[in-house]
Amino acid sequence: MNSKTTSSRPERHLTTGLRVYLLRHLQVFFYSLGQLSRSPFATLMTAAVIGIALALPTGLHLMLKNARQLSGGWDGATQISLFLKRTVQEEQARRLANQIRNLPGVAGVRFISRREALNEFRRLSGFGDALTALEDNPLPSVLVIQPTLAASDPGKTGRLLQRLRQYPAVDIAQLDMQWVKRLYAIMNIVQRGVLVLAILLGIAVLLVIGNTIRLAIQNRRAEIVVMKLIGGTDGFIRRPFLYTGFWYGVFGGMIAYLLVTLSVSILAGPIEKLAGLYQHHFRLTGLDAEATLLLLLIGILLGLGGSWLAVGRHLREIEPA
């Protein structure tokens, strides 16, 4: 009986200590929120600056994501045209079309016979009378290859083009993707620019929060001196300032989410109308749940990081005389 009682005492002490530890953190958690609520205007201004700094790279990243989705809908512009040799019969060309249709990365194949190609050329070129003077049809059969959406980027489409060129019946394989390559190159540059902007604005958020926490430390200098005189540890003194940075990060992330969502709602209508003029059904997408949680997490980490740096530097300078 005594052994059971003795063994249960450490567990009871551990549970009690953990409960007290969590209770103290919970008290400081809400105490720091109460301190911010005493000066709502200053808190709102600081949180607004953080929110704008977070909203700028978030909004640009979201626009770039929508641009990539829009460019993915332009897969019809990345067609591969296979001009077959004139000696290839129509039946052979149809068998080749069925063979290519089963290749990975191919969404569809359209066969254009020599007669259809001549009729289309006569209709579009305006040289119908001159073409009637020809004794033989000079145009070859054509296979128009439609890559899948997953194979529509320049690298995968280029590899598909090289594979199609190896067929003996193919005379010329043509792919006009220069504008697509330029578009992807521009989007890659923009993506790098957004990353650089996000890093710079993240540093700015750290500085803003650090300066705010520094002012809070200076305003409570006498209180900190008294805490150190009665034996308060640096961790105990640091705790409310860290939670203050946490709340700044939360409020800044929420404001950034509201700003981005408002911007998307303002731009969604005009962009949808513009896409409709080009017979394209495109809707601007906003932040999903995962992106919203990531935005809040980044705000919290920046808030904790800025407050940690500020407290760690300025708390050491305050010592009892």
Neighbouring CB atoms inside 10 A of 96's CB total 22
* 93 vs 299: which has the higher pLDDT: 299
SS3 call for 109:
strand
Antiparallel, parallel or unpaired: β 80-84 and 170-175: antiparallel
70 or 236: whose pLDDT is higher?
Answer: 236
Give ∠ CA 202-205-211 in degrees, rounded to 5.
145
Q: Pick from 145-149, 206-210, 309-313 the range whose average pLDDT is largest.
A: 206-210
10-30 pLDDT, tens digit each:
666 667 767 877 888 788 888
Q: What is the pTM of this model?
A: 0.67
Give the model confidence (pLDDT) of 88-109 as tens digits: 888 888 888 888 888 888 888 8
DSSP bridge partners of 42: none
pLDDT greater than 50 at residue 1: no
Q: Determine contact, residues 83/288, Cβ cutoff 8 Å.
A: no
Of 25-39, 73-87, 196-210, the least confident: 73-87
Whether 199 has a pLDDT exceeding 90, the answer reads yes
CATH of 79-176, one of 3.30.70.3040, 3.30.420.40, 3.40.640.10, 3.40.140.10: 3.30.70.3040
Q: Which residues 6+ apart lie within 8 Å of 52 measured at CB?
A: 255, 256, 259
User: Distance between CA atoms of 236 and 25, rounded to whole angstroms?
Assistant: 10
Radius of gyration of the chain (CA): 33
Query: Which residue in 22, 87, 14, 35 sits closest to 213, CA to CA?
Result: 35
Amino acid at the residue 103: L
Contacts of 32 (CB under 8 A, 6+ apart): 240, 241, 243, 244, 246, 247
pLDDT band of residue 282 (cuts 50, 70, 90) is confident
The residue ranges of every structural domain in the chain are 26-72+182-314, 79-176
pLDDT band, very low/low/confident/very high, at 125 (cuts 50, 70, 90): low
